[in-house]
Chains A and B, each alone.
Chain A
């Protein structure tokens, strides 16, 4: 995440308590009592326990957790559909929690729009009138609000459906109306509450793709709630994982997959298809042993191979520009021929990848060559190497010992 971007939404120590003895429960919470103890003592449920995070302008921020984790409650605190018990919410450095009713309505009308799981469309209004609903509430005249609604409908691809009623549309299209209604208001922040969870898988994927595409041009700040980790990973610039009202971890998809902060997160991410998320950057072996072209001849290369115990080494120049790999048997031949450099035996025709390439994309590359995959930057400088074994481990989820065992089994047969 680009740290230089402006902070759009900031949540500070946000706590929400459901029940009658809110003050008592808050006090107990401060004293460090557990959720269960507080429930027994005060009959209050802790909906959210001291949430802290910042969302940057234009960021796609996903809050993810199972049902009952408090994610929807947290989202509703941002526009105060749920009233926080303590803590603060800032939008554009303005404290939302301190606003009076009138100011709050203004925030809801102009700064934040929401998209709902069950769409929340008015069944007796046409698609166009539904899309214009937010503007109608704001008090805009018919002509201008319908023009804006029409534009929003065009953006989400519902041109031609303006005069239909919501019930005449499929679920995916109804949610597009919901999205158009939110976009028509031209808000700075979009709040999406399980927006795609009610849709069937194919439509869901299509909507996700469309939303990402839209986000490329619109650059809104999006807060997206989901219980589906795959969805969170696909959409989110950063992901918050919540459990029982507590934020377990905040980070990019890759952070969360590679460094789960707790056993809960770990258990969660185990089920995810890592192939599509783990990149060469996180998998690569940094600062590998290299053969320096011209400086290291075949003898030098051989020495390095013996020292590191590796049969195949990358060849780079003094500025780390990547040339290819050399294999031990050819290096031995070359040394016997007393050649001055390894130039003749470099395998230059090998795949290279950038840091962002995923495991899934790298897998086909290794079938044709024996060498590791070189990870290079845009100037073809070597950043590290991804070995075939580590790729296979990532792809198959077997750990290293298991793979060695499998290999032995295969050899013994």
Chain B
């Protein structure tokens, strides 16, 4: 069968046009992105490992209790002893920046979708697309816009990790009991007051669950981002695959898993405390 419709051609044209015409814009993003990721990376690596382990263990203890604190302590120690500390901190920096950026976009977007039916109609299929499109595909425009490095890695990660936070924010706000919102309105609350004093506080738990999902999805994207030189554990995993080095592949993979478990348990601690 011959190709009858060539959508790909138009997408390519659009992406090329964006690359040609919005170069200053992409450069600005790239520079800001690089500065923040590298800055955070430097901070995490410059801090002595035992201080980092102590900080994480304390945070886990505070939010999630003794068990998680112990897991955190043992897990991070194991990563350090396996020799993946620097890579893990690089990955952590990338995940944190990607997550924070994703949340800055997705929470307002989720609120908008909850408030505006028309917006919801556009946003929902977009989210479906973002979640189901094979994650590798994002790497192509990412590289075209930003060439290779950490920023395109973060870009692809943000797109892939954003949808659950948008969806759960919308769900959380839709789920606020109507009578409470009406009560606030009856006392003369403005839309802004209703959002900040009623809806967001009551939706916090659901929104936090969305943040948790975003963090985990970011981590799962890290290996893929390694393919475009985003650094960190992802690159070590790929190195293992390329050299058929099962030991390296397993150890770096295990480090990703440990980091994922720790971040998940700690953020879940935030959810359950609410």
User: Is B253 in the interface zone, CB < 8 Å from A?
Assistant: no
Encode contact with A along B187-202: 1 for CB under 8 Å, 0 otherwise: 1111001000110011
User: Is A19 in the interface zone, CB < 8 Å from B?
Assistant: no
State which residues 167-208 of A face B: CB under 8 Å. 178, 181, 185, 191
CB contact under 8 A between A185 and B177, given known A120-B182, A123-B202, A124-B201 = no
Q: Which chain A residue lies CB-closest to B191?
A: A101
Expressed in whole angstroms, the Cα–Cα distance for A52 and B102 within the complex equals: 54
Expressed in whole angstroms, the Cα–Cα distance for A31 and B198 within the complex equals: 44
A interface residue count range (under 10 / 10 to 19 / 20 to 34 / 35 or more): 20 to 34
Expressed in whole angstroms, the Cα–Cα distance for A224 and B198 within the complex equals: 26
CB contact under 8 A between A118 and B188, given known A123-B202, A136-B197 = no
Expressed in whole angstroms, the Cα–Cα distance for A191 and B187 within the complex equals: 11
Expressed in whole angstroms, the Cα–Cα distance for A191 and B182 within the complex equals: 13
Chain A nearest CB: distance from B272 CB in Å? Answer: 14
Q: Are B188 and A108 in contact (CB under 8 A)?
A: yes
Encode contact with B along A100-115: 1 for CB under 8 Å, 0 otherwise: 0000011111101110
Expressed in whole angstroms, the Cα–Cα distance for A181 and B177 within the complex equals: 18
Encode contact with B along A303-343: 1 for CB under 8 Å, 0 otherwise: 00000000000000000000000000000000000000000
Chain B nearest CB: distance from A299 CB in Å? Answer: 73
State which residues 153-206 of B face A: CB under 8 Å. 177, 179-180, 182-190, 193, 197-198, 201-202
Q: Are A109 and B183 in contact (CB under 8 A)?
A: no
B contacts with A, residue count (CB < 8 A): 17
Q: Which chain A residue lies CB-closest to B186?
A: A114
User: Is A116 in the interface zone, CB < 8 Å from B?
Assistant: yes
Q: Are B187 and A116 in contact (CB under 8 A)?
A: no
A137 interface neighbour in B180, B182, B189, B202, Cβ under 8 Å:
B189
Q: Are A134 and B187 in contact (CB under 8 A)?
A: yes
Chain A nearest CB: distance from B66 CB in Å? Answer: 26
For A185, the chain B residues whose CB sits under 8 A away are 187
Expressed in whole angstroms, the Cα–Cα distance for A81 and B179 within the complex equals: 12
Chain A nearest CB: distance from B143 CB in Å? Answer: 45
Chain A nearest CB: distance from B186 CB in Å? Answer: 4
Q: Residue among B179, B180, B186, B189 with the most chain A CB within 10 A? A: B186
Q: Residue among B180, B183, B187, B193 with the most chain A CB within 10 A? A: B187
Expressed in whole angstroms, the Cα–Cα distance for A110 and B188 within the complex equals: 9
User: Is A121 in the interface zone, CB < 8 Å from B?
Assistant: yes
Expressed in whole angstroms, the Cα–Cα distance for A185 and B186 within the complex equals: 12
Q: Are B186 and A113 in contact (CB under 8 A)?
A: yes
Encode contact with B along A72-110: 1 for CB under 8 Å, 0 otherwise: 000000010100000000000000000000000111111
User: Is A122 in the interface zone, CB < 8 Å from B?
Assistant: yes
Expressed in whole angstroms, the Cα–Cα distance for A136 and B197 within the complex equals: 10
For B198, the chain A residues whose CB sits under 8 A away are 122
User: Is A119 in the interface zone, CB < 8 Å from B?
Assistant: yes
Q: Which 8 A-B pairs have the closest CB atoms?
A: A120-B183, A109-B188, A108-B188, A114-B186, A134-B187, A120-B179, A118-B179, A105-B188
29 sample A-B contacts, Cβ–Cβ < 8 Å, listed by A number:
A79-B186, A81-B186, A108-B185, A108-B186, A109-B188, A112-B186, A113-B186, A113-B187, A114-B187, A120-B180, A120-B182, A120-B183, A120-B184, A121-B180, A121-B183, A122-B180, A122-B201, A124-B201, A133-B187, A134-B187, A137-B187, A137-B188, A137-B189, A137-B193, A137-B197, A138-B187, A138-B188, A178-B183, A181-B187
Q: Report which B residues bind A (CB closer than 8 A).
A: 177, 179-180, 182-190, 193, 197-198, 201-202
